[in-house]
C-alpha cells in the first residue's frame, strides 16, 4: 500500500522540483511515470529534464517510443498502467490519480502550482477524494523555504 504525497509549489518551478523528486526516486531504485494532461507540456518537461540536474543525468523518455518499457522515467498523458512498470507515479498539471493506483504503487506524488488558484482547487479535490477513500496521504509545503510536511491522513 502506497502513499500519496502532495507537493504545494510556491518557491521553485515545477521542472526544478520534479527533477529533485525524480532523482530521489531513482536513488530508491524506483521506475517512475510522470503523468501530465497535455502532450506539449510533456514535451516541454522532456526538454527541461535534459538540462537538469546540472551535476547529474536523469535518463528518461516520452511515451510512444519503441523503448518505453526500458525507460526508468517515462513522461506520458496516459492513465492506463505504465509500460515501464512504474513503482511511482508523479502527476503534474492536475493529471488524474485514483485510490487504487495509490494503493498499488510505492508512491504517488501530486505536484501543483500554489500560485495558480485552479491548480490549488484541483489538488484539494484530489486530496479529499483520496482521503475519503482511506488512502494514506501527506501534504508538503515549501512556503518556509524548505520542504515541510504540514498534514497527513
pLDDT at 65 over 90: no
Do the beta carbons of residue 19 and residue 125 sit within 8 Å? Answer: no
What pLDDT sits at residue 53?
64
- Among 3.30.450.20, 3.40.50.10110, 3.30.1180.20, 3.40.718.10, name the CATH number for the domain at 3-152: 3.40.50.10110
Mean pLDDT of 110-117: 97
What pLDDT sits at residue 56?
72
Cβ-based neighbours of 93, under 8 Å, separated by 6 or more: 36, 37, 38, 41, 119
pTM equals: 0.95
Domain extent listing, the chain: 3-152
Amino acid at each position: 500500500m502506497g502513499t500519496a504525497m502532495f507537493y504545494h509549489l510556491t518557491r521553485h518551478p515545477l521542472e526544478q522540483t520534479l527533477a529533485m523528486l525524480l532523482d530521489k526516486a531513482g536513488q530508491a531504485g524506483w521506475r517512475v511515470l510522470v503523468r501530465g494532461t497535455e502532450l506539449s507540456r510533456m514535451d516541454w518537461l522532456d526538454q527541461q529534464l535534459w538540462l537538469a540536474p546540472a551535476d547529474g543525468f536523469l535518463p528518461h523518455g516520452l511515451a510512444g517510443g519503441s523503448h518505453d518499457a526500458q525507460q526508468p522515467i517515462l513522461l506520458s498523458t496516459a492513465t492506463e498502467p505504465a509500460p515501464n512498470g512504474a513503482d511511482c507515479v508523479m502527476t503534474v498539471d492536475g493529471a488524474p490519480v485514483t485510490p487504487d493506483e495509490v494503493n498499488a504503487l510505492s508512491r504517488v506524488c501530486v505536484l501543483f502550482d500554489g500560485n495558480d488558484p485552479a491548480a490549488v482547487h484541483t489538488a484539494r479535490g484530489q486530496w479529499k477524494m483520496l482521503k475519503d477513500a482511506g488512502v494514506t496521504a501527506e501534504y508538503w509545503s515549501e512556503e518556509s523555504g524548505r520542504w515541510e510536511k504540514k498534514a497527513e491522513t
